[in-house]
Amino acid sequence: MSHYEYATPENFLGLEGECATYDGAQVVVLPIPYEATVSFGQGARSGPRAIIHASRQVELYDREFDCEMAYDYGVHTLPALAPHAAGPEAMVDAIRACAREHLAAGKMLVGLGGEHSISSGFARAIHDIHGDFVLVQIDAHSDLRDSYDGSPYSHASVARRIADLGAPILQFGIRSICLEEMDYIRATPDTTRVWFNEEVHAGGHLAELSARITGKKVFLTIDVDGFDPSIIPATGTPEPHGLTWVQVLDIVKTVCRNSTVVAFDCVELAPIPGMHASEFITAKLVYKVINHIMHQRTA
């Protein structure tokens, strides 16, 4: 039989073989192309596919760890989770049921959004399987409204819904916020800590972060609008004076060194046609975060 060259598969990082099977992989990637409550720019539903497609061009060799780590832990990419026609609350329940299955199987679960409301479903599944946890959120927006546009399951309310589970909320890079959210932050100083963008730029935040998460379980959620739009412009509501690549990775490294990350998601990429930098950078970010999580898991 003749030999033919085939394109790399549409799996995260283009992995194939045993390390890309469900049983052979420690990491499971769940694409969730859901977009129903966004309030400005559209396109987050296309984020997961764009990230996965771009990830096939990401170099697997990581100089920080001096190896192609993906082959060590393996990554299986699940089919995309279909949007639920019954509405945002039903979608959160569907994400919860799906995520719970993979967390119960002992997988490191990575969600690719879609809008930020998907994190509420992840959080509920984490609480079901792992119990108490801390939310570490990188974002331009606090997402602490009790409801938005009439929905308590809006992307603008996701951190508030996670707080309802009893999870402490630690946020970095916030630079767009409403009075209701500020009142909530002031009223809950023991469980809600926000490092606004200027505080992260000033430095000194990593020691307190470490103290707050040491020995605990963490759900890490990264909204790509937490970055400065000069780095990732392709997002629905970009905000100026955001975080740098180094600042975000310093937060990630601190979280991974001092806690057990039980799940991670990356949300709100809204690809811009003809401008592929944002999806490639996001794909590289997701791989880098997974490497740090898995390095600590296997240390």
In this prediction, residue 83 carries a pLDDT of: 87
pLDDT at 10: 87
For the stretch 275-295, pLDDT in tens is: 999 999 999 999 999 999 999
Q: Pinpoint the alpha helices (H) of 107-178.
A: 118-130, 158-163
pLDDT recorded at residue 2:
61
Helices 88-104, 118-130: crossing angle, 10 deg rounding: 40
d(CA 111, CA 30): 5
Q: What is the mean pLDDT of the chain?
A: 95
**Calpha distance 239→114 (Å, rounded):** 18
pLDDT at 298: 83
Asked if residue 163 has pLDDT above 90, the reply is yes
Of 26-35, 143-152, 227-236, least confident by mean pLDDT is 143-152
Q: Which of 7, 17, 65 is nearest to 291 (CA)?
A: 65
Q: Per-residue pLDDT for 26 more than 80?
A: yes
Mean of pLDDT values over 40-49: 86
The lowest-confidence range among 4-13, 91-100, 171-180, 233-242 is 4-13
β-bridge partners, 174: 196
What is the phi-psi region of residue 24: left when phi exceeds 0, alpha when psi lies from -120 to 50, beta otherwise?
Answer: alpha
In the predicted model, is pLDDT for residue 4 greater than 90? Answer: no
Q: What is the pLDDT of residue 41?
A: 61
Q: Is the pLDDT of residue 40 over 80?
A: no
Q: What percent of the chain shows pLDDT beyond 90? A: 88
Contact residues for 184 (Cβ-Cβ < 8 A; gap 6+):
144, 160, 192
pLDDT digits (tens, 9 = 90+) for 102-130: 999 999 999 999 999 999 999 999 999 99
Of the listed ranges 78-87, 96-105, 129-138, 221-230, the one predicted with least confidence? 78-87
Q: What does the pLDDT read at residue 8?
A: 75
Q: Are 152 and 161 a contacting pair, CB within 8 Å?
A: yes
| Beta-carbon count within 10 A of 203 CB | 10
Q: What does the pLDDT average to over 152-177? A: 96
Given a cut of 90, is residue 201 above it in pLDDT? Answer: yes
H or E, element range at 82: none
- What's the pLDDT score for residue 9? 81
Percent of the chain's residues with pLDDT above 70? 96
Checking if the pLDDT of 136 tops 70, the result is yes
pLDDT in tens, 72-98: 999 999 999 998 878 889 999 999 999
Mean pLDDT of 220-230: 98
- Asked if the 32-298 domain carries CATH number 3.40.800.10, the reply is yes
Q: Is pLDDT above 80 for 195?
A: yes
